[in-house]
Structure 1
Amino acid sequence: MENIKSYRFLLIGFLILTLSLTLTPKLALISITAIFAVYTIVNPKNALLLLLLYVPIRPLYAEANPGLKYIGDIITILLFLITVYQLRHDIRSIFRFKIFEWAFFLFCLVGAVSAYMTGVSIVAIVFQLRTFLIMYLLYYIISRMKIDKQDITKFAWVTVFVAMLISLHGIIEKLSLRTWLLPQAWVERIISETNFARIYGMPGNPNTLGMYLGVAIVLSLYLLHQAEGQTKRFLYVALTLFNGTMLLTLSRGTLISVFIGWIVFLALTRYWKPVKPYVVTLILGILLVYFPTNGGVALVQYINDQDYGKGGFINRIQHTVDDETQILTAETGRIYFIEKGFEVFKDYPMMGSGFATFGDSATLSFSSPIYEKYNIYSDGYGEGSENKYYFQNFYTDNQYIQVIAETGAAGVILFALFLLGMLVLFWKRRKEDLFSNVMIAFWMATCASGLLYNIWETKIYTLYFFMILGAYAAKHKLVLQD
């Protein structure tokens, strides 16, 4: 393991964030944000690494103290301004973009313009644009930096340290039946029996936590490849913890995406060396983390004479195919949202209904001007049913139907160019290095996730995707090429 002293900034950052929970939101907003802003100016590279700490734990910390909400945005915007300033003598580099970037910008423009035409407020439009663009800025920043192997190694180690913290917190959450080390609002949150069995963790969402741990596993395997002695043993422990905790999230979509990523990577490279440690630690994770934690939960419930429901992958799979779930899916779940999405598309075929209108991040905060028109507030089980299910705050849980509904044919074409434009960059270089093949597998896993989640609005995931993409661009000097 590298000199642990070089990661003191990470521990100090965590302590500052934790101690700030005792401050008033206003004082935290002013003082803590100022501290991180100054550090960003003094040490931009370490500030980037601090984002790997802040963004995954932000949901919990911001819930506990709203004054901590904007630290990530401030760091990112300052880093962007620093980058532009450093490139002031090379104007072409400032405005040099790849095809996938131009497609992404135009996609955002289509969504914003159509939203304005639909009657969405400017505030809601800006909110959604921020959701899409804030993490892209990290790609812009890193792609124009000098990145070496040591930087990538630090990136991976910070992820391992933070993922261990988050995994241990998640296990405590589960063993305490969601009563320890959580904001009161989360403790009091009403969760279905099926979801109560899942770990939500600091990210506040089991699917997001599962995807995050999937990335942590890949980066741990990267470090394991170059590790020896005690460091190697430490990474085996970390991988065991990550695999076991990821299973405790009961995230089917994550497992599907991870499986697809592995299949694509192995098909392209025939590089089997990472498979053995992955399989070994997966088995150890099941035996030493997954089963003991579930056993501990059963014991706690028995001692307290409580029953909050049982959970496991077998129950989860059964729940997927039983009659009740099929009804929920067709009338209030993913199928319902897909049907509603195409209904919106039929009325807005060219440019869609616009951002902040159909199940995206902005609608969670601002609702939508079209929900009443499409009866999305209505009874999800049919007229006259006693079971009411309302959708004032729903996520499409499918990135593509959201793109179809909100941006129409124009947005679909631009979003496809955005995705395929990246793939072309990786595919052209697939025979040059292993990194290109990793990116193809990462891209495929991401696209698969889009069928089940609003993956491009998940900040923790896009944090990693765009940072790793930026490192790839820097390594291959993509910004310097015409």
Structure 2
Amino acid sequence: MYRFTGWVFILHIILIIRGLIIPHPLMGYFVSLVIVLSSLVYLKNGLFLLFAFFPLRPFLVEINEGLTYLGDALILFILGAVFINKRPWKNLFKNYSWLAAVGVFLLIGLISGLLSGISLTAGIFQIRALIITVLVLILAKEITWRKGDLQKIIWISLGTAVLLSLHGIVEKLTLRQWLLPEAWTEWNLASANAMRIYGLIGNPNVLATYLLIVFFLTFLLKKKTWWLIPVRLLIVGTTLLTFSRGTLLAFAGGTAIFLLIYRYWKKIIPLTLYGVAAFVLIYYPVVSATELIEENGYFHETAQSDQSESNSAAKKPVTVKENNVFIERFKEMFASETVQASAEWGRIYVVLKGVEIFLDHPLIGSGFATYGDAATQSFSSPIYEEYGILDGLYADNQYIALLTETGIIGTLIILTLFGWLIYKLWNIQHRLWRTISLSAVFVFMISGLFYNILEDKTFTLYFYFIIGYVLNKRNMETDYEMD
């Protein structure tokens, strides 16, 4: 039950591919059912599958909506099986008393949201968005890990990251015309976003976050092979092609914390070399090739046969030079034009409007599904008309979302929980795992300035797993060292 079986994992992958070949929702439901039921016998297979499923979930669900709740079902059913077999409820209050605080936080968000006029469905939708991957922490803490299990997760993650990277480069070179769902190719993206890689994950920032997680995990691989170097370059180069400033800043801060605590300063040189080499060998050639392809009119609609050659040439799209865009995106962060645009509808606007709503609901906020969270993307917020907010706003700032929706009480609960977590992690005896987990918390906290990071299933899957794994006293692999 607690062993990973290779042929079962391959069978699960084949079933998911079958769901893509026959994209009917009933086939998706059938595939999900078979995978979940088999995972009750092979628990680790179901858990390990999450590390390939969640990064690909947006694409899989776009093709077959019957796969929508496969990840949720796996987590819930595996958790139930673990509790039944291990019976950890005997010490439940002692080991998971912090869940009471989480429950109070969720209750505050739900009640305040209902008072603001949201539907119960919208409130539950948001609770699910926040809590589902938290359960992975419990799984990682309760399951007995065998030697080599973590290695398997890293290899699965690495394979998935390579797939996403190669696909992202194809997406870039074909101007988002190949290997994407038809609905995605028709997205009306602003010019600043059109040049970014969205990938099968459907979001450049989430893609960059995932790729950097996997990049750093590869340094924990015990089997060192020469081809890890080009694979890491591919991953970093693809990350650069997402032009994700917030992600790069968050991981730069997390890396600095790691080097500071672990005192592993000699790692700065190879990490810098990976960045420079990826820019020269991956980023620059792909961008240059894309510009050449665009200048020659490939993947654009062909002119009608009766139009003259001169008229066709006149309608060639204007190509935006991207070779300096990566640097320019960082330089423009504090430009007056950027600040003005941000204040009108960007991040500054979101913060100022959030503070305005918070001042009207200071104690428990306006509630879940009311301001820039995942639920407001699917359900209309009842307060947007009152505050003159257009539908579709996404906070992209976890702190202002928390403060606005749950007020002082909800925000203090979350900050207290993270303070307690930092205290627990600081007291871990194993030096490397203590450093990794604290660095992950720091990346989490910085990312919250740029994204609704608690709703990012891919990031939180890895984050909560690492925390649970580190806190698992039965963990057998404590002899890790960085390469």
TM-score by length of 2: 0.89
Offset of 1:272 from its aligned partner? 3.5
Matched residue, 1:379: none
2-structure distance, mates of 1:363, 1:336:
17
Matched residue, 1:140: 138
Taking a change above 3 Å as real, the CA distance of residues 187 and 340 of structure 1, as seen in their structure-2 partners, is same
Question: What does 1:390-405 correspond to in 2, within 5 Å?
Answer: 391-405=390-404
Residue in structure 1 matching 2:208, options 210, 221, 230: 210
Offset of 1:100 from its aligned partner? 4.5
Greater shift after overlay, 140-149 or 410-419? 140-149
Counterpart residue identity of residue 200, structure 2: M
Question: What does 1:77-96 correspond to in 2, within 5 Å?
Answer: 77-88=76-87, 90-96=88-94
Question: What does 1:39-438 correspond to in 2, within 5 Å?
Answer: 39-88=38-87, 90-98=88-96, 100-223=98-221, 226-228=222-224, 232-272=225-265, 274-304=267-297, 305-307=316-318, 309-311=320-322, 312-376=325-389, 391-429=390-428, 432-438=430-436
Offset of 1:292 from its aligned partner? 1.1
1-structure distance, mates of 2:398, 2:93:
28
Counterpart residue identity of residue 415, structure 1: I
Offset of 1:457 from its aligned partner? 0.7
- 1:293-315 deviation digits (Å, cap 9, x = unpaired): 10110111122144453433123
Note if contact 2:234-2:278 (Cα within 8 Å) is conserved in structure 1: yes
2-structure distance, mates of 1:437, 1:178:
39
Matched residue, 2:301: none
Equivalent pairs counted in the alignment come to: 452
Note if contact 1:84-1:94 (Cα within 8 Å) is conserved in structure 2: no
Offset of 1:323 from its aligned partner? 4.1
Offset of 1:148 from its aligned partner? 3.5
Taking a change above 3 Å as real, the CA distance of residues 306 and 10 of structure 1, as seen in their structure-2 partners, is farther
Matched position secondary structure for 2:363 = coil
Greater shift after overlay, 323-332 or 41-50? 323-332
- 1:14-53 deviation digits (Å, cap 9, x = unpaired): 3332331232433223211122112211211011110011
- Gap runs ≥5 in structure 2: 298-315, 476-483
Taking a change above 3 Å as real, the CA distance of residues 432 and 34 of structure 1, as seen in their structure-2 partners, is closer
1-structure distance, mates of 2:84, 2:53:
25
How high is the sequence identity, in percent, across the aligned residues? 35
2-structure distance, mates of 1:310, 1:54:
35
Note if contact 1:99-1:418 (Cα within 8 Å) is conserved in structure 2: no
Offset of 1:125 from its aligned partner? 0.6
Offset of 1:276 from its aligned partner? 4.1
Note if contact 2:196-2:242 (Cα within 8 Å) is conserved in structure 1: yes
Taking a change above 3 Å as real, the CA distance of residues 475 and 237 of structure 1, as seen in their structure-2 partners, is farther
Note if contact 2:426-2:434 (Cα within 8 Å) is conserved in structure 1: yes
Greater shift after overlay, 164-173 or 297-306? 297-306
Offset of 1:10 from its aligned partner? 4.5
2-structure distance, mates of 1:153, 1:425:
25
Note if contact 2:25-2:64 (Cα within 8 Å) is conserved in structure 1: no
Note if contact 2:109-2:405 (Cα within 8 Å) is conserved in structure 1: yes
2-structure distance, mates of 1:236, 1:292:
18
Matched position secondary structure for 1:207 = helix
